[in-house]
Structure 1
Amino acid sequence: MVAVSDAIERARTLLELRRPADAERELRGLLAQNPQHSAAHSFLALALLEQGNPADAVTEAYEAVRLAPDHWFPHYVAGHVHYRERRPDLAMAAVQAALAISPEHVPTWTLLSRTHMLTGHWREMADAARRGLAIDPEAAEPASLLALALVALGEAEPAKAAAAQAVRLDPDSATAHLVYGRAALAFGDPREAADAFREVLRLDPGFDQARELLVAALKRRNPLYRWLARFQSRFRGGWWLVFLLPAVPPVIIVFVLIALLHWAAWIAESWTTLRLARAKATRLLFEGAESRVALLCCCLPALGAALLALGITLGQDALGTGGVAVMALVTPVQEAAHTSAARARAILYGWTGLLGLAIVASVALGSVGPALLSVYAALATIWVAAGVRRVFRKEQAPL
């Protein structure tokens, strides 16, 4: 029994040290001698999950549940595996089974909160995090999750208080500082948010999400960019306005204004990104693709304006209209670049390519109609992109 306990403890330690392959070897050695050991199957599921083997992880988790259906830990591990694989329904069932057996474990309430986060049930996420804090007021992770839920619910002061509590409880936690920065960024304090994200990167230099959020915080220090970004994130215009067009044709003006303001916001995004990517103090925060997209989107308006001026000078309406269409391409390029799901991004880049071909063809044929349609289609990409992202939203990374 002592040897079995020692093997389990060694495996647990190896998992904490992020050495899942070593933990797997330890656990398989134990299971070779004792194949009915439920905890060994549970920890093996976690080791396999960390090594990118979810199918076998699920098998081991279910075997652990079969061997010890009246113990909370195998159900918890099954829920964790399903959560990591973004299967919220299965994760929820497993977590509820664990809570029905033993409702006093904070990690289970934490996992329940994370599962609600996966489905966007913010109020339930907050409630689960509060249940965890009620059991252990010194637990930093439930405090962080509570802050995230309150940020999503728009409750500024409680969110800031919960985030500050998470940092106080675990000042060496990169996650706690990340949540604190997200709360500050969401509620209008980009400077404090930037400081928090820098602390995250000091604690964990490989935390990519912190790098992206630091870039966002640095951009939002510009008041004009901040206003345009706020407009862009909150207002695209309801699709239902389309049904008003036959009765109230002037509604089209609303669509035009929305599209133009989004275009202006993407121009601001491009210029701000390019400026930060060229600055010595911040250039390392940017990947090459980001700066290239920003440079392209800064060049498109200049190229389009040159074509417009040339078209006016030469009296070629198709060339001038094509120039306007080139300027409008900023919207589809940026919408594609800011789409995280790979297939959705590929579709939007394909759409952008088709618009570019249509512009070239219309100029070559001297036809104004296709060029004008390309202008409208490019500016309307904000709605096209929203629809594409909705189709592929299951591929989006969790918050």
Structure 2
Amino acid sequence: EEHPDNPGARLFLGLTLAQVGDLDGASREYKESARLAPDDPFPHYFHGQALHTLDRLDMAIREYREAVKLAPQDVRMRLNLGSAYYEQGIFESAIAQYREALKLNPGDAYIHYNLGLALADQGRFEPAIAAYKESARLNPTDPLVRYALGVVQETKGRVNEAIGEFEAAAQLAPTMAAAHAKLGWLYYNKNQVPQALEHFEKASRHDPDDAQTLHGLGLAKLASGKKDEGILSLKQAYQKEEREDKKRLIRSVLVKVGALSH
């Protein structure tokens, strides 16, 4: 104990221990630093981070709240508190922190995105769309925002808007299998088989083990008259699918095209 009463030294030691992965040791130092410097938000903030990493979310929230109380103008502290609430499923409190963070830093695309996620998880789709759109405006090259927008538009039944967003996501991130898979299903359900096939093929190239993609790929191939290839994809989908209801669905298609007996 070389600096028993120096809060800065205890804080620094905590950070050093955290870097080498001794989070319990780090927590002890942060706690001691907070006791010695009760007005300093940083021991609480870093203690919160250590607890957050250890998945002790309720304790992390307590420390982050203390940090926010001591430094209400610090965006990072509010963001961490918000994300801990979000992971706990306490969306209302997460939203409140993100909104406060945005008052301090309205130009931060990442905060708008996080706000959108929390609103969407609450089922508040219109405000979620507004938050995502603002995030996309501030950071037009982020594919995740466009993907998230597509998901909400699809949930609202706005198929063409959803397609537009997923197309944008796929253009920004050509290897994003999830965006191609979404496009595959949307085009397939619109009876636009060539587009569906193109996107299912891209999706399965970038994520060859996804059962749902293989299922869609098989259906699109059958609809394109490529029966043998379609059956092959559907059989792969059947093997990889874990959900019983979806397995039954794939099986019924295979029976219908005569690839399986009943």
Q: TM (normalized to structure 1)?
A: 0.46
Match of 2:201 among 185, 195, 201: 195
1:251-290 superposed matches below 5 A? 279=235, 281-282=236-237, 284-287=239-242, 290=244
1:1-399 superposed matches below 5 A? 22=21, 24=23, 28=27, 31=30, 34-35=33-34, 38=41, 41-42=44-45, 44-46=47-49, 48-171=51-174, 176-188=176-188, 190-199=196-205, 201=207, 211=210, 213-214=212-213, 217-218=216-217, 220-221=219-220, 279=235, 281-282=236-237, 284-287=239-242, 290=244, 294=248
CA distance in 1, matches of 2:85, 2:110: 15
Aligned partners of 1:277 and 1:285 also within 8 Å: no
CA distance in 1, matches of 2:218, 2:17: 46
Partner of 1:304: none
Q: CA RMSD in A?
A: 4.2
User: Which secondary structure does the structure 2 equivalent of 1:22 belong to?
Assistant: coil
Distance 1:24-1:63 versus aligned 2 partners, 3 A rule: farther
Amino acid at match of 1:191: L
The structure having more radius of gyration, on CA atoms, is 1
Question: Percent same amino acid among aligned pairs?
Answer: 16
CA distance in 1, matches of 2:202, 2:46: 34
Aligned partners of 2:13 and 2:29 also within 8 Å: no
Aligned partners of 2:184 and 2:199 also within 8 Å: yes
Distance 1:197-1:278 versus aligned 2 partners, 3 A rule: closer
CA distance in 2, matches of 1:79, 1:164: 30
User: Which secondary structure does the structure 2 equivalent of 1:75 belong to?
Assistant: helix
Shift of 1:193: 4.9
Shift of 1:8: 6.5
CA distance in 1, matches of 2:69, 2:107: 22
Amino acid at match of 1:130: K
CA distance in 1, matches of 2:16, 2:179: 31
Shift of 1:157: 3.6
5+ residue gaps in structure 1? 15-20, 206-210, 225-274, 299-399
Aligned partners of 1:23 and 1:44 also within 8 Å: no
Distance 1:61-1:185 versus aligned 2 partners, 3 A rule: farther
User: Which secondary structure does the structure 1 equivalent of 2:68 belong to?
Assistant: helix
Aligned partners of 2:201 and 2:217 also within 8 Å: no
Distance 1:29-1:124 versus aligned 2 partners, 3 A rule: same
Aligned partners of 1:139 and 1:169 also within 8 Å: yes
Amino acid at match of 1:179: A
CA distance in 1, matches of 2:136, 2:53: 27
Superimposed CA distance per residue, residues 180-218 of structure 1 (whole angstroms, 9 cap, x where no aligned partner): 42243234265345335435536xx7xxxxx35325525
Distance 1:47-1:107 versus aligned 2 partners, 3 A rule: farther
Amino acid at match of 1:114: L
CA distance in 1, matches of 2:110, 2:152: 17
Aligned partners of 2:143 and 2:169 also within 8 Å: yes
Amino acid at match of 1:195: E
Aligned partners of 1:180 and 1:193 also within 8 Å: yes
CA distance in 2, matches of 1:187, 1:41: 50
Amino acid at match of 1:201: D
Superimposed CA distance per residue, residues 343-393 of structure 1 (whole angstroms, 9 cap, x where no aligned partner): xxxxxxxxxxxxxxxxxxxxxxxxxxxxxxxxxxxxxxxxxxxxxxxxxxx
Aligned partners of 1:76 and 1:94 also within 8 Å: yes
Shift of 1:27: 5.1
Q: How many residues align?
A: 227
Amino acid at match of 2:94: A
Shift of 1:10: 10
Aligned partners of 1:79 and 1:90 also within 8 Å: yes
Q: TM (normalized to structure 2)?
A: 0.65
Aligned partners of 1:148 and 1:183 also within 8 Å: no
